[in-house]
Every structure is written in C-alpha cells, then in structure tokens.
Chains A and B, each alone.
Chain A
C-alpha cells in the first residue's frame, strides 16, 4: 500500500470517528433544559424519515420499484413481523416481481 493512500485512509477514519465520538465523551446533558433533551430524543424519527425519503425512490431506474418494496415492508412490519422477515420479505418480493416481468 502506498504511504499516501495509507495516511489518506487513516485521515478519513479519524475525521469520521471524531463526530461519532465527541458527543459521547464531551457532552454532559444532565443539566440541559428539558426542551433540548426532548428534541434530541426526537432526532431518531426525523432521521429515519430523511433516510427513507426520497432515497427509496432512486434504488432503481423505475420509481415504482422502491415504492412497491416500501409498501411490502410497511405491510410486513404493521402485522408485527420481526426485522429480518421484513427485510428478507421485501427483497424476496421484489426479486419475484422482477423475475415475472
């Protein structure tokens, strides 16, 4: 491995790790006002929304592909299927559709 590439990868690792680590070691949230704690606890749901949309539309050239997969996942998780079944089921369903078409 060239030294430049080695140090580049190490550098990428460091700048990725710092934002992941910093709040865990530097933040003391105990005395923060309640609204800020409330907002932090809501971050996961807003992140999930942003992670799903609009990205799900672009997994394939055809927009409907992601939409159909999303609906399958929605139905499976609504009936209480475990995570792995939801993920595996969505993949399988899309594979079958593609195979038929």
Chain B
C-alpha cells in the first residue's frame, strides 16, 4: 500500500516538474501561435478551423506550410503528403525518447507520443534518465495549451503585441535550445559540444538542398553516425 502511495506521489511530482519545464516552451510558442492565428484569418480560415488545426496537428512548421499551400490552391492530398514529409523527422526523436524513457503502459505512450514536437522532445530528452512518462506529459500539456490558446488569441488580436516584443520573442525557442544544451555540456562534457556542432554544421550544409524538416533529420543522422565512426576509429588507432 505504501509503495502504491509512493509511486502515486512520485507520479504527481514528475507531472508538476514537467508542467514547470513546459513554461519556457509555452512562452516560445506564444508568438509563433499568435502569428499562425493571424495568418489563418488572412488566408480565409475561420477561427474554429484555425484552432481545430492547432488542436489536431500540433506542429508549427507543417501548419504554416498548410496555410501557404491553401493560399496557393493546393489540394488536400498534396497538403497531407507535405505534412507527412515535414514531420517525418519525429520518428527519430520518438525512437530516441523510447530508448531513454522508463517502461510505462501502452496508454501513457500513446498519450505522450502525441505531444512530441521538436521542443517537447528537446526538453524531455535532456531530463534525467530514465525519462518519466508523467514528466513528458507535463511538458507536453503546457506546450500544447499555449499552442492552441494563442492560435485562437492570435486570430483576433495577433497584432496586439508591440512589434519590438514580437520581434524579440523570435529568440525564445533558440534561447530554450541553448539553455538545454549548456547543462548537458557541464554534466557530460565535450561529447555534447561535438555532437551539437556536427548537427549544426551538417544542417547548414543540407539546408542548401533540402527542406528544413528533412535537413534536420539528415543532419542528425549524419552527425550521430559520423561521431560513432570517428570514436571507433580513434579507439582502433589507440590500441594498434
């Protein structure tokens, strides 16, 4: 009985921690969602359609792309296919989360899988291992609420933030990513810096030919594989 109460307590604690860690993402999503709402209106969507899209899809880049494709007169099938292409990279992130997460029920995984955007993945995957399901759910819920709510707000009042604040808020998600990297550098050392640099360099190169989603995925795979290969090669050199 005590064990049961303890596990419930720890679930609640991890959920709370997750909710707190989600706040920087919520802040970062705010200008992006406000703008999405605003452009939705300009593209001719109703507020219900715009909010419905944010509720069901929950993927920034793909939703922006859908708007521009709607404006260009693309068909629904084309837009769905393009969405698939842009969001396919999450397969890799989901696999990485799966490797680092605690064992949990199917129902929890089905639930938190929905929330795995780039940002939720980044926050969750840099948390202590094993990553708790409740933690991912907490982060996801806050990020999701911000995304959906500010889509609606933006539809009516996207321009209410002064331009200076709107422009400055564009740094939010990048500041978040940096803030996630730095503590990992402190705990795990140079491997983090090297991997991040490889990811950044390859992404800059691949973006010349590839769309953002594919480029991030290709850069990640190349960086991780190259790091592993270099490490094995150096080990061999050291022993021979």
Cβ–Cβ < 8 Å partners of A41 in chain B: 96, 99-100
User: Closest Cβ of chain A: how far from B133's Cβ, in Å?
Assistant: 10
User: A37 near B99 (CB under 8 angstroms)?
Assistant: yes
User: A13 near B56 (CB under 8 angstroms)?
Assistant: yes
Residues A48 and B180 in contact in the complex (CB < 8 Å), given A8-B80, A12-B83, A15-B84? yes
Q: How far apart are the CA atoms of A43 and B97 in the complex, in Å?
A: 9
Cβ–Cβ < 8 Å partners of B153 in chain A: none
User: A52 near B95 (CB under 8 angstroms)?
Assistant: no
User: B168 near A25 (CB under 8 angstroms)?
Assistant: no
Cβ–Cβ < 8 Å partners of B201 in chain A: 49, 53
Q: For the complex, would chain B's binding face be called helix, strand, loop or mixed by DSSP majority?
A: helix
User: B94 near A21 (CB under 8 angstroms)?
Assistant: yes
User: B197 near A49 (CB under 8 angstroms)?
Assistant: yes
Q: How far apart are the CA atoms of A77 and B97 in the complex, in Å?
A: 24
User: A19 near B90 (CB under 8 angstroms)?
Assistant: yes
Q: How far apart are the CA atoms of A53 and B140 in the complex, in Å?
A: 24
Residues A11 and B95 in contact in the complex (CB < 8 Å), given A17-B114, A44-B126, A48-B122? no
User: B90 near A54 (CB under 8 angstroms)?
Assistant: no
How would residues 6 to 39 of chain A score, 1 for a CB under 8 Å from any chain B CB and 0 otherwise? 1111111101110111111101010000010111
User: A50 near B200 (CB under 8 angstroms)?
Assistant: yes
User: Closest Cβ of chain A: how far from B80's Cβ, in Å?
Assistant: 4
How would residues 157 to 190 of chain B score, 1 for a CB under 8 Å from any chain A CB and 0 otherwise? 0000000110111111111111111111000000
Cβ–Cβ < 8 Å partners of B106 in chain A: 25
Partner of B216, one of A45, A50, A60, A95: A50
Residues A94 and B168 in contact in the complex (CB < 8 Å), given A16-B83, A47-B216? yes
Q: How many residues of B contact A (CB 8 A)?
A: 93
Q: How far apart are the CA atoms of A90 and B28 in the complex, in Å?
A: 11
User: B110 near A24 (CB under 8 angstroms)?
Assistant: yes
Task: Judge if B219 is at the interface, Cβ distance under 8 Å.
Answer: yes
Q: How far apart are the CA atoms of A24 and B23 in the complex, in Å?
A: 25
Cβ–Cβ < 8 Å partners of B212 in chain A: 55
Task: Judge if B52 is at the interface, Cβ distance under 8 Å.
Answer: yes
**A51-82 CB contacts (< 8 Å) to partner B:** 51-56, 59-60, 65-66, 69-70, 72-74, 76-78, 81
Q: Which residue of B lies closest to A8 (CB)?
A: B76
15 A/B residue pairs, CB under 8 Å, sorted by A: A12-B56, A16-B83, A20-B91, A22-B91, A23-B94, A25-B106, A25-B113, A44-B126, A44-B184, A46-B227, A47-B118, A48-B196, A87-B28, A91-B175, A95-B165
| Known interface pairs A4-B76, A16-B83, A41-B99; 13 further A-B residue pairs with C-beta atoms within 8 A, sorted by A's residue number | A1-B46, A13-B58, A17-B113, A20-B116, A21-B109, A42-B228, A44-B126, A46-B198, A48-B180, A66-B171, A87-B175, A90-B175, A91-B165
**Contact residues of B with A, CB < 8 Å?**
21, 23-24, 27-28, 45-46, 48-49, 52-53, 56-59, 62-63, 66, 76, 79-81, 83-84, 87-100, 106, 109-110, 112-114, 116, 118, 121-122, 125-126, 164-165, 167-184, 191-192, 195-204, 207, 212, 215-216, 219-220, 223-225, 227-228
